[in-house]
Structure 1
């Protein structure tokens, strides 16, 4: 069964008014249960543009596909009040070797623009 380890998230661009985003991850493998990382309901990692969040202990196993979404929290508990930052997908049979780019699709001149590189290792 394919498995990837998320090694790091690099903030390449973000326009948070505070200059620092509080991000967290939401993974879903093969349409199953969602997994939040970090696990706490308000847990997040502060990251500024140019910064890197070293992870290394998040492993995702899947048969067909795994999606990993990045959200910006601003200390809101309600997921509907968080800001979507981008998403990447991992597919069975793909021998991806380079970072995947997650962006929210906004234009770089937009006040809500974000871009993150997701560093990972294929484990099998």
Structure 2
């Protein structure tokens, strides 16, 4: 495979732009939690504590991640006038633009997990032989 073919979109100038757009994407949804939170919220809106429990994430980190997702237009925060006050989070319609990315990551992760488990079994077979 030539160097040109390794780039996603074509010539060197386009490759540089592609790397920049990939970095932009990772700046928005990268890290350990953002795509996990988005995938959880795809099932429907949740209150802060429910989301914290579901993701197994500390409230401090969850608050930071949700603020960033909200700032980038992927999540909305709704404060309900209840006693005590409840705060709900849900995905925006814009978050649907990440569906293909989430599905691709899910499929890749499933295949990778299968490969790792098969390799572990193969290593165990070699060790017991």
TMscore range, shorter length: under 0.3
Larger radius of gyration: 2
Larger relative contact order (Cα-Cα within 8 Å, sequence gap ≥ 6): 1
TM-score of the pair, normalised by structure 2: 0.24
Which of the two has greater strand per residue?
1
Which of the two has greater helix per residue?
2
TM-score of the pair, normalised by structure 1: 0.24
